[in-house]
């Protein structure tokens, strides 16, 4: 079980690292000067590769978490409301990941008109989600 936990933590940390950096690329894309085709294409390529990589990392992170929950019974029984709250945060993170994919498609097709300031705020969402998840797991307030 300790190996499963260790790998779960590694994959979650790596997944979040990608979710921290991907919106930063969106900020840079929103700041590209009109006519800078090479710079825009390079940033789009970086964003596509990072999204693909973070998607690959999310699968084992979620699978190992499910293994810990279902296979080892972590969080089952009375006094484990923290796990239900954590699962809600995980769903929010998956939704954020999906939103990043949608934004990338819109940026690639020039359909997105958000400012770089909007993307800077969007970039802070995974930090808040990670903070909540860590507090739920470590403190277990419920």
Binding residues: 8, 86
Does residue 53 contact residue 139 with C-beta atoms inside 8 Å?
Answer: no
Does residue 114 contact residue 30 with C-beta atoms inside 8 Å?
Answer: yes
Q: Which residue blocks in 67-109 are alpha helix, DSSP H?
A: 81-108
Q: Per DSSP, which regions of 7-88 are E strands?
A: none
Binding residues for heme: 8, 86
């Amino acid at each position: 079980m300790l190996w499963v936990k260790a790998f779960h933590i590694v994959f979650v940390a790596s997944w979040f690292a990608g979710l921290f950096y991907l919106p930063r690329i969106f900020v840079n894309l929103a700041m590209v000067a009109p006519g800078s085709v090479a710079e825009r294409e390079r940033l789009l390529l970086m964003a596509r590769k990072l999204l693909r990589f973070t998607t690959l990392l999310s699968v084992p992170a979620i699978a190992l978490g499910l293994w810990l929950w279902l296979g080892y019974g972590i969080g089952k029984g009375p006094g484990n409301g923290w796990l239900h709250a954590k699962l809600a945060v995980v769903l929010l993170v998956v939704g954020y990941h999906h939103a990043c994919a949608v934004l990338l498609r819109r940026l690639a097709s020039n359909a997105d008109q958000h400012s770089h300031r909007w993307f800077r705020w969007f970039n802070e969402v995974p930090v808040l989600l990670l903070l909540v998840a860590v507090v739920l797991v470590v403190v277990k307030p419920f």
